[in-house]
Structure 1
């Protein structure tokens, strides 16, 4: 099978394998080694693998001893074993491993990719799952699997695969040669010219530059301020941690994916505290009250999170960890912490190298659609740049264009209080709950942040009092005289969507509607070449890398880094789809 794969990938710039027989990863390492050994290899190898549970890193290392060098590199970035899709970059970002942890049938249903080769274990799947594999397969895709019965082979054949004539063979090979026409599921074809204009030099825009430049794109960044990260990304410190929920809803699953992928990307930039300012000092999230603490403790007993991901601490243990009495029990996220957003933006942009061109102190006022490109002009009508792709990563600024003025985005004011370290409790992990407190950063602790529905840009005492009151609820023994504290801090405005999830992907054409009675997301008309990375609210640190990766994968026709239903939950056209479904008779 490896010989067939090598022969096939020599004709392609990118090659994708789906493996549901990953076991300890031996097959993956063998293909990775074959890729390394082949001078005519494709530029990028995508490998999607369903991961069985129960193997420790030590056990995997033992089973992978034949490929010691590759095994060491893989296990060095091995993710925390929590459910979901995990994207890992290896070998100068040319090997892209997407691990899928969970029920194998559910994982396969959630893949959005075009597959060149299938390695399958003996699966007791219904016909609908085999049909799903046929929808993922490229023309002439090859398949290898043990065959348990004639009925199973018949289902695979009904999905469009033709088996080699090998009577009695325990393991059979097949080729995808369906009787029907193969179609691609993506809403927009990849652009021929890989050049994108990105509006906004905050976390969203910087991450988009970095993920596209990684793929060889030319990126032109336009920023109306004189420097990076001057608006929502301009705080002294941002907190990163996942979000937990009792039903593991889409928001929790997305936050888990975003949190883990952000840490992976940051490591490639040099790591927290090295490539940019911050600390992975942990985050301690205290329950709001006794009822909330009881619910969270019950959640901890119903879930089986690895200790390096999340731990529930009762009030005495939480207080001991913090070094000060807290109001209740809480979740400890040992891998969480704080980051200085501006330094992270700078690191992401520096990683772009010569692929990046910047325009600062320039306001993009007009978007003009040309035959096969977009022209971005300033307030005087002069052209700033032209490219086939424009990405709006400028928060509320996206509403200034006629094409996108109807997007359901709202500005939410947030005031952060800066407190001299001598007046704040000396803590090591970030403390949060209904508010938050960071450790001292350059002599200042950050306390925040308010959620205000007004446009006041100046600091105000009432917002500072609110921040300090919430901190006192978490730290009841904190005795600082808040009446003499100076009014210091920063005001920023979060860009928030109505459902509190980001908008990631091709932007909808609000002037057109789908003629279908029961439209799907793919049926909603789009503005060709115009994309959004918007609505990150308070979680821009972790949203930015995953959202940029998702959009870059869409633009390059690569396997998506998350489950298809989660990508749909971020699709900017979701609001129009809901509205059209409500109004259809």
Structure 2
């Protein structure tokens, strides 16, 4: 795996920033991808409608909320002219309306998992009340999943101020966990793992009418908690209720403090049986509902899978396989990892360090969203090793590629409206100050940019209890028919025909070797299907180790990237890279490649040009990238062979995909709400 931070900015005239709605089309459903979610427009295409719900292909910057109070001291939203909760108390309202209205805690008892979808996170008090009730119930479900949509989230500091003033004694631990993982205010999904992963909170930041149609989950209960319909009609509209209904499990329930007639009719049209009950806080009525459509469902969420053993075989112990194995082991799976090169002293030894920096695009394109999701998951999953030895949060200066492009980068940030704790514009002087040495020009700065030691990180991920790694080559895999809940069992076989392991799940995380393994297993394409997956190519490339001590130049304190990159020093050397060599017979570091990397590095850091360094004296490392057409990976279940999964084709962005890919596969197998939106999942499905 070679990592090269990339900057992508597309210029579009304002008229292209929004796509007009298109007539509704049928949902193609789950085509064996392992995911159930709405169809979406292809990159650059027009939006599709699903079941009367329009998926908007439009980027809308987040507008954060700020603490404000009405004349009675209640938390208040100036954006909507409404209070966040009843005067009689948020916790009491949550218990009366949302818990009792959804039959909780009784309904989660004895279940493997229970999933709640909430429209309106607000101050988080309803979520905390739910979490507390779940904690206090000895007969609770094994796991609790909550997905909460919020268009105007609070910054962490503001949320802490609001919560600390309102929580009863004994709730401090929950608030501390929530605030410790509170994400930067960026559009999209943010997964928080609480109570050791027994509770998950997926925050969906963005307008509900844009976010909900992209969610992939199976909801047992809905907490409908937007601001009142008269000031926030979109949150109670029929299209949104239809979008929510597509996520409903059989007999799912819903509850809300509201009782407006239009809202109740919207629920009924979406397939809910609606009932009025006594309200709370001076309201005469509230509404409860049960999903019981009188029509045949066309867009039902997938049934959660069931496994007898919860044992998986992962082929490949690189950064892709390590991410998958770690994610499964976190959820209690037993994982057998096989890699012929495991334990070899030279395995990745020269790959001293790599960088993880997200992409940017003026329209927040699907690739930019995917990149951001990967960076956010990595920062969360790798937190235990964020001490500098394995993962260092050193930041990244992403330089403009030329002086005339720097203003465009800064204008793009103004349009995106991303918070400064995620990315901010910098001049050349500011970039030089952050790097601790002169840079060629300014650009943008990511405070969360990471320098990672891939070999050490992979070993740390694979050291999780429940993971066994063996130095063995899987020569083929065989599908076995067996009486197991998944309906299939797999056997991994070595070159002598001996069985290495049997499991219900096999994950191919062996890069460009994956298509060859399938072909050797007589599981290759027939009739030309999946040309993308079987068209994976191995592209060689090399990195260069620049001497960082007494070498006539000052090494950077942060990652400096543009056309190439230079990383902060590790063990006396700075990694610079990287080359791309198509159709190479072997991956080998050459003096010519070192010269290319030095030239690129000198365009970023001018001191290198005058340091008199000799590329012929450099050392480095060469390796392979697995690249699919379109340069997006395949992460998901085979549409042809049930129980056969892949995490392959990570190309130059293995660090971006490792944690995210692992959580996508593990969440799918565990029946969790998905950590990525449905339109993005389809982009990385088998193809």
TM-score by structure 1 length? 0.90
- Report the alpha carbon displacement of residue 154 of structure 1 after superposing the two structures with TM: 1.4
Is the contact between residue 254 and residue 290 of structure 2 (CA under 8 Å) also seen in structure 1?
yes
**Distance of aligned partners of 1:436 and 1:58 in 2 relative to their CA distance in 1, 3 Å threshold:** closer
Is the contact between residue 203 and residue 229 of structure 1 (CA under 8 Å) also seen in structure 2?
no
3-state SS of 2:539 partner? strand
In structure 1, distance between residues paired with 2:359 and 2:199 = 29
Which of 285, 290, 314 pairs up with 1:175?
290
Which of 364, 369, 391 pairs up with 1:278?
391
**Distance of aligned partners of 1:245 and 1:232 in 2 relative to their CA distance in 1, 3 Å threshold:** farther
Is the contact between residue 229 and residue 345 of structure 1 (CA under 8 Å) also seen in structure 2?
no
Which of 418, 423, 428 pairs up with 2:545?
418
Which of 629, 641, 646 pairs up with 1:532?
646
Higher mean C-alpha deviation, range 442-451 or range 453-462: 453-462
In structure 2, distance between residues paired with 1:188 and 1:306 = 36
Q: Residue in 2 aligned with 1:514?
A: none
3-state SS of 1:40 partner? coil
In structure 2, distance between residues paired with 1:288 and 1:187 = 48
Matched, 1:2 2:116: no
Matched, 1:383 2:499: yes
**Distance of aligned partners of 1:258 and 1:467 in 2 relative to their CA distance in 1, 3 Å threshold:** same
In structure 1, distance between residues paired with 2:434 and 2:449 = 15
1:199-218 to structure 2, matched below 5 A, reads: 199-218=315-334
Which of 279, 287, 306 pairs up with 2:419?
306
Matched, 1:506 2:637: yes
Is the contact between residue 23 and residue 52 of structure 1 (CA under 8 Å) also seen in structure 2?
no
Which of 449, 455, 477 pairs up with 1:367?
477
- Report the alpha carbon displacement of residue 147 of structure 1 after superposing the two structures with TM: 3.5
In structure 2, distance between residues paired with 1:187 and 1:483 = 61
Q: Residue in 2 aligned with 1:34?
A: 133
In structure 2, distance between residues paired with 1:241 and 1:248 = 15
Matched, 1:409 2:513: no
**Distance of aligned partners of 1:252 and 1:42 in 2 relative to their CA distance in 1, 3 Å threshold:** same
3-state SS of 1:306 partner? coil
In structure 2, distance between residues paired with 1:159 and 1:325 = 60
Q: Residue in 2 aligned with 1:19?
A: 118
- Report the alpha carbon displacement of residue 291 of structure 1 after superposing the two structures with TM: 3.3
- Report the alpha carbon displacement of residue 43 of structure 1 after superposing the two structures with TM: 1.3
**Distance of aligned partners of 1:558 and 1:425 in 2 relative to their CA distance in 1, 3 Å threshold:** same
1:161-198 Cα shifts (integer Å, max 9, x gaps):
11224488442111112224567444994444321100
Q: Residue in 2 aligned with 1:93?
A: 197
Aligned Cα RMSD in Å? 2.1
In structure 1, distance between residues paired with 2:241 and 2:352 = 51
- Report the alpha carbon displacement of residue 420 of structure 1 after superposing the two structures with TM: 1.8
Considering Cα pairs closer than 8 Å and 6+ residues apart, tell me whether 1 or 2 has the greater RCO. Answer: 2
Is the contact between residue 556 and residue 568 of structure 2 (CA under 8 Å) also seen in structure 1?
yes
In structure 2, distance between residues paired with 1:229 and 1:26 = 52
Matched, 1:433 2:562: yes
- Report the alpha carbon displacement of residue 342 of structure 1 after superposing the two structures with TM: 1.3
Is the contact between residue 144 and residue 172 of structure 1 (CA under 8 Å) also seen in structure 2?
yes
1:307-326 Cα shifts (integer Å, max 9, x gaps):
11001111222123223222
Matched, 1:469 2:599: yes
In structure 2, distance between residues paired with 1:189 and 1:420 = 52
Which of 340, 348, 351 pairs up with 1:235?
351
**5+ residue gaps in structure 2?**
1-97, 482-487, 526-530
In structure 1, distance between residues paired with 2:351 and 2:264 = 58
Q: Residue in 2 aligned with 1:446?
A: 575
In structure 2, distance between residues paired with 1:484 and 1:498 = 33
In structure 1, distance between residues paired with 2:141 and 2:335 = 24
Which of 609, 621, 625 pairs up with 1:490?
621
**5+ residue gaps in structure 1?**
509-525, 574-585
1:333-360 Cα shifts (integer Å, max 9, x gaps):
1111201011111211122x1x222221
Is the contact between residue 459 and residue 487 of structure 1 (CA under 8 Å) also seen in structure 2?
no
Matched, 1:47 2:146: yes
3-state SS of 2:287 partner? strand
**Distance of aligned partners of 1:323 and 1:357 in 2 relative to their CA distance in 1, 3 Å threshold:** closer
Which of 266, 270, 273 pairs up with 1:159?
270
Which of 54, 60, 73 pairs up with 2:177?
73
Is the contact between residue 201 and residue 229 of structure 1 (CA under 8 Å) also seen in structure 2?
no
Is the contact between residue 153 and residue 185 of structure 2 (CA under 8 Å) also seen in structure 1?
no
- Report the alpha carbon displacement of residue 2 of structure 1 after superposing the two structures with TM: 1.9
3-state SS of 1:572 partner? coil
- Report the alpha carbon displacement of residue 249 of structure 1 after superposing the two structures with TM: 0.5
3-state SS of 1:482 partner? coil
1:330-341 to structure 2, matched below 5 A, reads: 330-341=443-454
Higher mean C-alpha deviation, range 160-169 or range 212-221: 160-169
3-state SS of 2:382 partner? helix
Higher mean C-alpha deviation, range 161-170 or range 234-243: 161-170
Higher mean C-alpha deviation, range 191-200 or range 159-168: 159-168
- Report the alpha carbon displacement of residue 226 of structure 1 after superposing the two structures with TM: 3.2
Q: Residue in 2 aligned with 1:522?
A: none
3-state SS of 2:246 partner? helix
- Report the alpha carbon displacement of residue 475 of structure 1 after superposing the two structures with TM: 1.8
1:369-428 Cα shifts (integer Å, max 9, x gaps):
111211111111111111111000010110212125752311111110112212252221
1:429-473 Cα shifts (integer Å, max 9, x gaps):
111111111111011111111011123322211111100001111
Is the contact between residue 315 and residue 328 of structure 1 (CA under 8 Å) also seen in structure 2?
yes
3-state SS of 1:528 partner? coil
In structure 1, distance between residues paired with 2:385 and 2:123 = 28
Q: Residue in 2 aligned with 1:246?
A: 362
Tell me the number of residue pairs that the alignment of Structure 1 and Structure 2 aligns. Answer: 550
Is the contact between residue 566 and residue 575 of structure 2 (CA under 8 Å) also seen in structure 1?
yes
**Distance of aligned partners of 1:468 and 1:545 in 2 relative to their CA distance in 1, 3 Å threshold:** same
Is the contact between residue 229 and residue 342 of structure 1 (CA under 8 Å) also seen in structure 2?
no
